[in-house]
């Protein structure tokens, strides 16, 4: 097996830098050392400049092939860590003051004694997510490893955690999903209050970031080639409304409306809406950089409209955005072509129908 892996690594070095090749998904595992760190996982893409390895805990590692040492094959198929292995790893990493609770798809590290406040809610979100997309004909894949959530006890701990993982935590940020580590990380805004008022302060962050994590691990999005920002953020803001207590995946539409995003759209976007705003949102991320509030509202509005009125086409469009080769960065032309191939290029008509749809929401 060592000869096989050595030949594979050598072959990687012969590939041109522009020709990133993808392996069959998670079909074998190797163990190797990079920069003094031992890694085990499945090679999922490579060229002469980079190897992309999916580790057994779901983390993505990217490194030059000539930095890999002591490599050997460990398995003919991918195998995520067991719950007990992951639990031990998280407790060693986080130290005193934490418990780790498991559910069907999640392992959640949280402040000691707060199991009921966190792990069951993550699993409930997963069930709602799967149900919503299943009844609309989406084919979801099962994550090949447990999904991990980390709940820090306060903002100071949250900022330190982000820094240790080379991530920033600007003022106002309550939590995030990291595509690289495949973890949700947040802090307990409710400061241990497990009742309804305490949970409400955490709920929006958990729902939004968990939606990113679930979408990237069930095949709706591609972790190695993420979709346009409006697609990812539109889906996450849409699910903020769908995951509400009164929402139903197959009940009346009004129960799935994200009231906060609808209000933001009506106040900040609708008065000056124009057809080329939709075209620009599809083609680029400029609006997210120039006016984030308006961008999130517009992304929610377009996503909710497409999912509610054209679910089959919306599923086809998501499949297109998830089919890019590893590490591919879409051009504006590619983004536009994907969208217009499914929904057409009459931006004025799309705008008219979108605005009429939103006007009818209560």
Residue 105 pLDDT class (50, 70, 90 cuts): very high
What is the distance between the alpha carbons of residues 355 and 350, in angstroms, rounded to a whole number? 9
What is the distance between the alpha carbons of residues 7 and 70, in angstroms, rounded to a whole number? 13
User: Which one, of 180, 215, 177, lies nearest residue 319 by Cα?
Assistant: 215
What is the distance between the alpha carbons of residues 311 and 86, in angstroms, rounded to a whole number? 37
| Lowest-pLDDT range of 27-31, 234-238, 263-267, 300-304 | 27-31
List, as one string, the DSSP characters of 53-117: EEETTS-EEEE-GGGEEEEEEEESS--PPPHHHHHHHHHHHH-TTEEEEE-SSEEEEEETT-HHH
Over 70: is that where the pLDDT of 199 sits?
A: no
Q: pTM for the complete prediction? A: 0.90
Q: What pLDDT shows up at residue 362?
A: 79
Cβ–Cβ contacts within 10 Å for residue 263, how many? 11
Q: What pLDDT shows up at residue 25?
A: 57
Q: What pLDDT shows up at residue 191?
A: 62
Q: What pLDDT shows up at residue 4?
A: 40
The helix (run of H) or strand (run of E) holding residue 21 is strand 21-22
Over 70: is that where the pLDDT of 359 sits?
A: yes
Tally the residues of the chain: 362
| Lowest-pLDDT range of 47-61, 138-152, 177-191 | 177-191
The helix (run of H) or strand (run of E) holding residue 33 is strand 29-34
Residue 245 pLDDT class (50, 70, 90 cuts): low
Pseudo-torsion of CA 135, 140, 146, 149, nearest 10°?
A: -60
Where on the phi/psi map is residue 220: left (φ > 0), alpha (ψ -120 to 50), or beta? alpha
Residue 7 pLDDT class (50, 70, 90 cuts): very low
Question: Using one digit for the tens of pLDDT, what is the confidence trace for 69-95?
Answer: 998 999 998 999 999 999 999 999 998
Over 90: is that where the pLDDT of 179 sits?
A: yes
Residue 89 has phi, psi (to 5 degrees) of -65, -45
Show the tokens assigned to 167: 């991530």
Where in the chain is CATH 3.40.30.160? 83-217
Cβ–Cβ contacts within 10 Å for residue 283, how many? 20
Average pLDDT (11-30) is 57
Around 13, how many Cα atoms within 13 Å sit in the side-chain half-sphere?
10
What is the distance between the alpha carbons of residues 245 and 250, in angstroms, rounded to a whole number? 14
Residue 289 has phi, psi (to 5 degrees) of -80, -35
Residue 116 pLDDT class (50, 70, 90 cuts): low
Average pLDDT over all residues of the chain: 87
Residue 1 pLDDT class (50, 70, 90 cuts): very low
Partners of 37 in beta bridges? 34
CATH code matching the domain that covers 83-217, chosen among 1.10.3080.10, 3.40.50.300, 3.40.630.10, 3.40.30.160: 3.40.30.160
More confident residue, 139 or 249: 139
Instruction: Annotate 108-120 with b (16+ C-beta within 10 A) or e (fewer).
Output: bbbbeebbebbbe
Say if CB 119 and CB 101 are below 8 A apart: yes
Residue 97 pLDDT class (50, 70, 90 cuts): confident
Q: What pLDDT shows up at residue 10?
A: 47
Over 90: is that where the pLDDT of 203 sits?
A: no
Instruction: Mention every residue, 6+ apart, whose C-beta is less than 8 A from residue 192.
Output: 111, 114, 153, 198
Q: How is the chain split among helix, strand and coil, in percent rounded to 5? A: 50, 15, 35
Q: What is the largest CA-CA distance in the chain?
A: 66
More confident residue, 135 or 279: 279
Around 33, how many Cα atoms within 13 Å sit in the side-chain half-sphere?
4
Question: Using one digit for the tens of pLDDT, what is the confidence trace for 310-348?
Answer: 999 999 999 999 999 888 889 999 999 999 999 999 999
Where in the chain is CATH 2.30.30? 2-75
Average pLDDT (21-31) is 70
Indicate the fold that domain 2-75 takes in CATH: SH3 type barrels. (2.30.30)
Residue 121 pLDDT class (50, 70, 90 cuts): confident
């Amino acid at each position: 097996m060592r000869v096989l892996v050595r030949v594979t690594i050598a072959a990687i070095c012969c590939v041109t830098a522009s020709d990133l090749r993808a392996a069959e998904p998670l079909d074998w595992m190797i163990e190797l050392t990079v920069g003094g760190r031992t890694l085990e996982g499945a090679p999922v893409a490579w060229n002469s400049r980079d190897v992309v390895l999916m580790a057994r805990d779901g983390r993505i590692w990217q490194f030059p092939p000539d930095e890999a040492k002591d490599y050997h094959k460990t398995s003919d198929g991918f195998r995520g860590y067991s719950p007990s292995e992951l639990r031990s790893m998280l407790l060693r990493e986080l130290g005193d003051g934490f418990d780790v609770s498991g559910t069907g798809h999640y392992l959640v590290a949280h402040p000691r004694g707060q199991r009921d406040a966190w792990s069951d809610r993550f699993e409930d979100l997963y069930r709602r997510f799967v149900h919503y997309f299943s009844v609309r004909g989406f084919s979801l894949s099962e994550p090949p490893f447990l999904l991990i959530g980390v709940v820090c006890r306060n903002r100071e701990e949250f900022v330190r955690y982000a820094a240790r993982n080379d991530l920033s935590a600007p003022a106002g940020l309550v939590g995030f999903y990291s595509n690289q580590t495949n973890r949700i990380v947040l802090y307990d805004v409710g400061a241990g209050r497990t009742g309804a008022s305490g949970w409400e302060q955490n709920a929006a962050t958990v729902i939004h970031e968990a939606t990113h994590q679930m979408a990237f691990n069930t095949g709706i999005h591609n972790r190695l080639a993420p979709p346009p920002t409006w697609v990812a953020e539109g889906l996450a803001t849409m699910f903020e409304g769908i995951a509400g207590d009164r929402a139903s995946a197959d009940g009346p539409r009004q129960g799935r409306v994200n009231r906060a995003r609808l209000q933001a759209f009506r106040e900040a976007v609708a008065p000056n809406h124009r057809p080329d705003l939709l075209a620009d949102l599809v083609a680029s991320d400029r609006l997210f950089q120039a006016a984030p509030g308006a961008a999130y509202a517009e992304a929610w509005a377009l996503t909710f409209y497409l999912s509610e009125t054209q679910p089959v086409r919306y599923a086809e469009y998501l499949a297109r955005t998830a089919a890019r080769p590893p590490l591919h960065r879409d051009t504006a032309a590619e983004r536009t072509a994907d969208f217009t191939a499914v929904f057409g290029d009459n931006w004025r008509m799309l705008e008219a129908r979108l605005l009429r749809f939103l006007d009818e929401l209560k």
